[in-house]
Amino acid sequence: MRREDKGDSYVKKRFSIWFGVLFVIYTLLIGWYLFFGANTELPNVYKGTSADPATFMNARQLELSHEFSRIKSLIYFVSIPLEWGIYLFVLYFGLSRVFRNWSKGISRFSFVQIAIYVILLMCINLILTFPLDYINYQVSQAYEISTQSFSSWMKDLFISFWVSNLFMILTVFVIYFFMNRKPKKWWLYAWLLSVPFTVFMMFIQPVVIDPLYNDFYRLEDKQLEEKILSMASRADIPAERVFEVDMSEKTNALNAYVTGIGSNLRIVLWDTTLNTLEDDEILFVMAHEMGHFVMHHLYFNLFASIFLSLIGLYIGAKLLKWAVARYGEKWGVSGINDIASLPVLLLIFSLLSFLVGPIENAVSRSAENDSDVYAIEMTEDPEAAIGAFQELTINGLSEVNPPGLVKFFRYGHPTMLERIHLLESYMPKEKEKMKAPSN
C-alpha cells in the first residue's frame, strides 16, 4: 500500500472513531438531561390553576405527554450532529470528489453536472437520515399523534426530497455560477438574486407548494366561515373565503394559520381543529393567527430572512475560503468554486443556522405572545382561549413546562404554561373600566 493510501486510511479511521465516540457521549448526555436531569416540576404558584396540566389532563395523558415530548426532543438533538457528520463523512471518505468526477464524466454542461452532484449528495443524506426519520414517524404513530399510513408518509418524504432537490439545484447553480465569475463577491451577487426569489416563494407557497402535500377546499361550515371572515374584516384582512385542509388522515394534532401575501393570502384551518374545538375556541385561534398578519409578522419574518441570509452568505464565504485553503487537499477539493466544496458550505450554513436558532426562537416567542394578547383583546373570551390551549396540549401531547434547553433550542412559541397563565391573568379593559371608581 502506498504511503498516501495509508495516510488517507488513517485519516478516515481517526475521523470515524472520534466522531462515533463523541456522538455516543453526546447522545447519552442529552438523554440523561431530558429524562432525568432537567427540572420540569410545576412551580407551586401555578398548581391548581388552569395552567396546571393536572387540572385538565388525566394521569395517563400526563405520563404520555412527558414521554412523547422527551423522545421527540431527543430525536431533534440527535439529528443535528448527525447532519454535520454526514457532510464530514462525504468529505473525509472522498465521496464528494467521486460525485464531482462522476457528474463531469456524464455531461460537460455545468448545470447538469451540478444537478447530478446535488441529487447524489441528497441521496446519501436521505439514506443516512432515513432510520432516524422512520423512528420519528413510528414514535408519532405509537403515541397516536400521527394517523398517517406508511405509504402516505413515504409519499410525503419523496415529494419533499424532489421539491428540495429542485430548489437546491437552482440555488447551488446560482452560487457556483457567481463563484466562478465573481470569486470575491459571489456571496453578495447570490444574495441580491435570492431576494426576489424569496418573495416569490412566499407568494406561491400557499397555492403551489402546500397543495402537493394536502387537499385544500373551502370551509364547509358556512356559519363559522362567516364569523371568521367578519373577524378578518374587523382586522382589515382582505380575505374572501376560509380554507379547510384535510389533515386528519395524517395527524391528530391541531393547527390553523394565515399565510401568503397579496392575492395569494389564505386563512387555513386544519380539519382536526374543526373536529375538536368549539366555535368560540376556533375563533380565538383564528384571531391569534390574524394577529400575526395585523402586526406584520409575516413581513417581518420575510425581511429578517433576507437580512439573515445576507449575513449568513458573507460569513459562509469567509469560512468556506478558510476551510478549503486548510483542508481542501485532504478532501480532494481544488477551490471554493469546485462543486466538491458544497458539503463544506452546507455544513457551515447548518452550523450558523443552529447558532442563530435560539435568537430566532426568542423573537418568535415574543411575536406569538403579542398575537395571544391581540386575540384575547379581539375575542374578549379568556375561557374559550384557555380551553383552546388546553385542547392543543392534550391533542399534541405537549409538555406544559418543558426543560429549559428544549425551550431555548426548539420553542418558537411560549410554553403552554406561559400562554395559559397569560390568558388566566388577563382582564379585559372593559372590566377594568367597570371596576374603576367614578369621580
* Active centre residues (catalytic): 289, 372
**Residues within the annotated binding site for Zn(2+)?**
288, 292, 368
Separation of alpha carbons 204 and 202, rounded Å = 6
Helix axes 342-379, 297-331, angle to 10 degrees: 160
Concatenating the DSSP letter of every residue in 130-181 gives HHHHHHHHHHHHHTTSB---HHHHHHHHHHHHHHHHHHHHHHHHHHHHHHHH
Separation of alpha carbons 345 and 313, rounded Å = 10
The residues that bridge with 242 in the sheet, in sequence order, are 267
CA distances from residue 46 to 58, 327, 394, 415, 418 in whole angstroms, order as listed: 17, 54, 18, 13, 10
> Which run of H or E residues covers position 8?
helix 3-32
**Residues within the annotated binding site?**
288, 292, 368
Concatenating the DSSP letter of every residue in 378-418 gives HH--HHHHHHHHHHHHHHHT--SS--HHHHHHH-SS--HHH
The residues that bridge with 128 in the sheet, in sequence order, are none
CA distances from residue 31 to 23, 142, 202 in whole angstroms, order as listed: 12, 20, 37
Report CA 265 to chain centroid distance, whole Å: 21
DSSP conformation class of 253 = -
Concatenating the DSSP letter of every residue in 326-356 gives HHHHHHT--STTSGGGHHHHHHHHHHHHHHH
In sequence order, which residues have a C-beta less than 8 Å from that of residue 50 and are 6 or more positions away? Answer: 56, 386, 390, 420, 423, 424
Burial code (b: 16+ CB inside 10 Å, e: under 16) for 427-436 equals eeeeeeeeee
The side-by-side arrangement of strands in the sheet containing 256-259 is: 216-218, 242-245, 266-270, 256-259
Task: Count CA atoms closer than 13 A to 93's CA, side-chain side.
Answer: 11
